[in-house]
Chain A
Amino acid sequence: MTETNISTKGSDWGYAPAPESADHFKLKEQYGLFIGGKFVPAGSGKRFATTNPANEKTLAHIADAGEKDVDRAVKAARTAYDKVWRKMSGRERGKYLYRIARIIQERARELAVVESMDGGKPIRESRDVDIPLAAAHFFYHAGWADKLGYAFPGKTASPIGVAGQIIPWNFPLLMVAWKVAPALACGNTVVLKPAETTPLTALLFAEICQEAGLPDGVFNCITGAGSTGAALVKHPGLDKVAFTGSTDVGKAIQKSLAGRSAKLTLELGGKAANIIFEDAAIDQAVEGIINGIFFNQGHVCCAGSRLLVQESVEQEVVEKLKARMEHLIVGDPLDKNTDIGAINSKAQCERIRDYLKVGQDEGAELFQTKCPVPEKGYWVRPSFFTKVAQSHRIVQEEIFGPVLAIQSFRTLDEALEKANNTPYGLSGGVWTDKGAKIFKVTRGIKAGVIWANTFNKFDPSSPFGGYKESGYGREGGRHGLRPYVKLS
């Protein structure tokens, strides 16, 4: 510029910390099991600590349920089923679900903060995704409670009985909603086992059930580790088991249910392909890659953990992805500007780090961003691998962390072949500006959910579930009611 001394130097202007406050509620020092409408200690008196993965501090002590506690909970659920819940009209059941939905909304801020403290996910996500979506699931299923006849025209839908439900640590309250809302709407009672690293919002949910006046025993919550879950699955009093979690545990559950009449739905792992064609809106596709793999630290069963990009735009996509990733802020989950929070647990953090090493040992090239991470707590910088092959473990196995594997393809058929060459079949993504190509690709991928020009979108009215080793049964929508009713 002529005749000027205007500054041409860029500014290092950035964002000051903007932490969400946690002083508007108080967690209890210890939480009991929620059985028959009351909080009770575990029979053994044992407790375990739940910690904040962002600073490794203990948040509360949680009752550790043993076999006897499981038995008590299942019996409480049976009593509530026989005496109250199965006889209640759908319209009355619906009222309770509406009430729960509204209380979730009222306590949204508290629930969001606790979710972020207990699980490590950024407040931006727990506030904008987890909690509103959990409320939406209760609203949606409240509407179904008295309309089951319309969900299954020409048939009579009746409840199954007592459902044992085991949920993972990646979306603690949202998974409560996915499991409990359809079960209750259809007239079943529930014994829920949340994950041992993230029990707090499920216990707050138990408080919400009390607040809503839900009849005692309709919802029961038993906390503990894998052995508690195993005891629940083994209990002969269950009519239905629903599990979300790893494929290995899912297989074990299926074995232990063999020969029994209890019904089973499984929502297991995934290794989704996110396919970017050269005619896609590239900048928006890059954003889709980010949402696909870095949402919730990559702790998402339907994460777009494999990127398949057409070779003519591979270089552009990788360059843009790197630039975009450098803007991801890793750190305090309660800071409103944080994009990627803490890894949920020490064990998971080690598992992800193992995979980072495995990938490099196999000959893949690792890229990680340069952002600073806190000293305490469990963190993994956003990462991707290039120069990977189908045979690599980082392509075949679910890492469940912020780690992406990038491959290129030349033709549509090659993309489909790679996308389907996995034991999983939960989700997928396609990015193209051409409508016809969208349909060609979505028909060609064997997966339960496929997003076009977007990723990781959820709605209570949209069924979610997998093929192959990603499980069976659907959650959400009319399809999601089916596992919770007997039709005659």
Chain B
Amino acid sequence: MSSSLAVSTKLNLQAHPVDEVGIRERVARLATRSIKKASKVEGLKLALSMVDLTTLEGADTPGKVRQLCTKAIHLHSGRKDLPMVAAVCVYPTMVRIAREALQGTPIQVAAVATAFPSGMNPLAVKLEDTRYAVAEGAHEIDMVISRGDFLRGDYARVADEIGQVKGACGKAHLKVILETGELGTLDRVRLASDIAMQSGADFIKTSTGKIQPAATPEVVLVMLQAISDFYRKTGKRIGMKPAGGIANAKAALNLLIMVREVLGPAWLTPSLFRIGASKLPNDMLMQLEKERTGVYQGLDYFSND
């Protein structure tokens, strides 16, 4: 390990207690914001522009990835007023295919790496995994932290691993997945967020999508508050990516409300806020079509890619 990457020597583990009851109340209050009509349409379009459209299955094929990329560019046939999504998120072996399919668009290609989703491999393998994905053309790397090390209390090791992966990313952006569903308490979510941000994360991300619960509003709120504190102390804006378990358009709008009121409008951009999802966009499209036509349409009218 080169000393410049040993970020753990500078790690500040000052406790930031989180009160679970207070978090739940704040979440409930934020959810009472009423988003209707023009505000709803604008919000849904904004949320769509922040989606990391994701396929992470063992059964993924080049064909499926190409389909997904087409959807990423053209979210719904016949509507020209929709944005493209922010990124497509795939396994490293699919990066090249996605890059080809998205050529000429601003859509980013994100790759999950570091023995996703469990992270149960030695560091050398994780670094190789990362270098491979970057070499294939990934703009963004979504890594997982070693939950075992974290829960054991070996925070220095977690931090150094993030630092090393950051080094392996080169110019690619690093999103650090905390896998909050395995952390157990909101206090630990906060601590893991602090460690990830101090160790070089460009984004912090809730979940892999393989474990439930995933991006609960409570977890998202705690992470947003951690980002806010980090910005207050360092002046550096870290991005946020909830992923997994975001049930519907309303839940997506509630995320935007949270970002707006905790971090402010500066974070309401795909460069600082992403939503990891595969099925969610169709519900948002359905709501947008409802606002346009006044009636709900069946799911058959929306493409499953």
Chain A contact residues, CB within 8 Å of chain B? 1-16, 18, 124, 128, 279-285, 287-288, 316, 319, 323, 327, 336-337, 433, 453-454
Partner of B139, one of A1, A10, A285: A1
B265 close to chain A: CB less than 8 A: yes
The residues of B that contact A6 with a CB separation of less than 8 Å are 86, 106, 108, 270-271
| Alpha-carbon gap, A281 to B261, bound state (A) | 18
Q: Are A337 and B33 in touch, CB under 8 angstroms?
A: yes
Chain B residues in 8 Å Cβ range of A2 = 139, 171-172
A327/B22 in contact, CB under 8 A: no
The answer to whether the Cβ of B77 comes within 8 Å of any Cβ in the partner chain is no
Would you give the 0/1 interface string for B4-33, flagging 1 where the beta carbon is closer than 8 Å to chain A? 000000000000111101110110000011
* B36, CB-defined interface residue at 8 Å: yes
B181 at the interface (CB under 8 A from A): no
Residues of chain A contacted by B106 (CB below 8 angstroms): 4-6
Chain A residue nearest in CB terms to B49? A7
Interface residue from B19, B33, B172 paired with A284 (Cβ < 8 Å): B19
Extra contacts, 4 of them, besides A4-B106, A453-B21 (Cβ < 8 A), are: A10-B264, A10-B265, A283-B22, A454-B22
> Any chain A CB within 8 A of the CB of B80?
no
Can you name the residue of chain B whose Cβ is closest to the Cβ of A282?
B16
Chain B interface size, under 10 / 10 to 19 / 20 to 34 / 35 or more = 35 or more
How far does the alpha carbon of A419 sit from the alpha carbon of B199 in the complex, in Å?
42
Cβ-defined partner of A11 (8 Å) among B19, B36, B171, B268: B268
Chain B hits for A18, CB < 8 A? 34-36
Complex Cα distance, B106 from A282, in Å, reads 39
The dominant DSSP class at the A interface is loop
Docked CA distance A56–B143 (Å): 58
Let me know if B108 and A1 touch, CB within 8 A. yes
B270 contacts which chain A residues (CB < 8 A)?
Answer: 6-7
- Determine whether B152 belongs to the interface, using a CB cutoff of 8 Å to chain A: no
Residue picked from A4, A128, A327, A454, most chain B C-beta under 10 Å? A4
Partner of B22, one of A4, A10, A11, A281: A281
CB of B269 within 8 A of CB of A11, answer yes
**In the complex, which residue of chain B has the Cβ closest to the Cβ of A14?**
B39
Residue of A at shortest CB range from B35? A15
Contact indicator per residue, chain B 30-49, by CB within 8 Å of chain A (1) or not (0) = 00111111111011001001
| Cβ contacts under 8 Å, B139 to chain A | 1-4
Bound CA span A336–B34, Å: 6
Instruction: For the complex, give the distance between the alpha carbons of A383 and B146 in Å.
Output: 46
Q: Which 10 A-B pairs have the closest CB atoms?
A: A284-B22, A18-B34, A16-B39, A11-B268, A281-B19, A336-B34, A10-B266, A433-B17, A284-B19, A8-B271
CA distance A11 to B44 in the complex (A): 13
B176: shortest Cβ distance to chain A, in Å? 16
CB within 8 Å of A: which of B38-88?
38-40, 42-43, 46, 49, 86
Contacting A at CB under 8 A, from B207-264, are: 225, 232, 256, 260-261, 264
B91 in contact (CB, < 8 A) = no
Using CB atoms, name the residue of chain A closest to B221: A283
Query: Known contacts A6-B86, A433-B17, A453-B22; is A16 also within 8 Å of B38 by CB?
Result: yes
Separation of A13 and B256 alpha carbons in the complex (Å)? 9
Q: Chain A contacts of B172 at CB under 8 A? A: 2
Of listed A6, A7, A323, residue having the most chain B CB within 10 A: A6
CB neighbours (8 Å) of A453 from chain B are 19, 21-22
Contact B34 A319 (CB under 8 A): no
Chain B residues contacting A1 (CB-CB under 8 Å) are 108, 139, 173, 271
Cβ contact within 8 Å between B108 and A11? no
A336 contacts across to B, CB distance below 8 A: 32-34
Q: Which residue of B has the minimal Cβ distance to A8? A: B271
The answer to whether the Cβ of B302 comes within 8 Å of any Cβ in the partner chain is: no
CB within 8 Å for A281 and B18 given contacts A6-B108, A15-B33: yes
**Chain B nearest Cβ from A172, distance in angstroms:** 22
Q: Which B residues are in CB contact (< 8 Å) with A282?
A: 16
Q: Which of A4, A7, A15 contacts B269 (CB 8 A)?
A: A7
Show 30 A/B contacts (Cβ-Cβ < 8 Å), sorted by A: A1-B139, A4-B108, A5-B106, A6-B271, A7-B271, A8-B271, A8-B272, A9-B269, A10-B264, A11-B46, A11-B268, A13-B39, A13-B46, A13-B260, A14-B260, A128-B32, A281-B19, A284-B22, A284-B26, A285-B22, A287-B26, A288-B22, A323-B264, A327-B260, A336-B33, A337-B33, A337-B34, A433-B19, A453-B19, A453-B21
Return chain B residues, CB-CB under 8 Å to A7.
49, 269-271
Nearest-Cβ distance from residue B266 to partner chain A, whole angstroms: 4
Given A6-B86, A8-B271, A454-B22, residue A15 in contact with residue B108 (CB < 8 A): no
CA distance A454 to B29 in the complex (A): 14
Which residue of the partner chain A has the closest CB to B25? A287
Contact between B21 and A15, CB atoms less than 8 A apart:
no
Interface residues of B in 265-282 (CB under 8 A from A): 265-272
> Which residue of A is nearest B261, CB measured?
A327
Residues of chain A lying within 8 A (CB to CB) of residue B34: 15, 18, 336-337
Residue of A nearest to B30 (CB): A327
| Highest count of chain A CB atoms <10 Å: which of B17, B42, B173 | B17
- A277 CB to nearest B CB, Å: 11
Residues from chain A with Cβ under 8 Å of B265 in the complex: 10-13
Once the chains are docked, how many angstroms separate the CA of A354 from the CA of B238? 44
Distance to closest chain B CB from A287 (angstroms):
5
Please give the distance in Å from A331's CB to the nearest CB on chain B. 13
Tell me whether B36 and A284 are in contact (CB under 8 A). Answer: no
Note all chain A residues with C-beta closer than 8 A to B225. 283
**B32 touches which one: A14, A124, A327 (CB < 8 A)?**
A124
Task: Tell me if B17 and A16 are in contact (CB < 8 A).
Answer: no
A10 and B18 within 8 A (CB): no
- Residue on A with the closest CB to B226? A283
**Chain B residue nearest in CB terms to A279:** B17
Q: Which residue of B35, B173, B232, B268 contacts A10 across the interface (Cβ within 8 Å)? A: B268
Minimum C-beta distance from B49 to chain A (A): 8
CB distance from A128 to the nearest CB of B (A): 7
- For B232, the chain A residues whose CB sits under 8 A away are 316, 319
**How far in angstroms is the closest Cβ of chain B from A15?**
5
Cα–Cα, bound, A475→B161 (Å): 58
Contacts of A4 in B (CB 8 A): 106, 108, 139
Residues of B within 8 A of A8 (CB): 269, 271-272
The reply to whether A13 and B25 form a contact with Cβ atoms under 8 Å apart is no
Cα distance A13–B86 in the bound complex, in angstroms: 18
Please indicate which of the listed interface residues A1, A12, A285, A454 has the most CB atoms of chain B within 10 Å of its own CB.
A1
- Complex: A319 Cα to B267 Cα, angstroms: 19
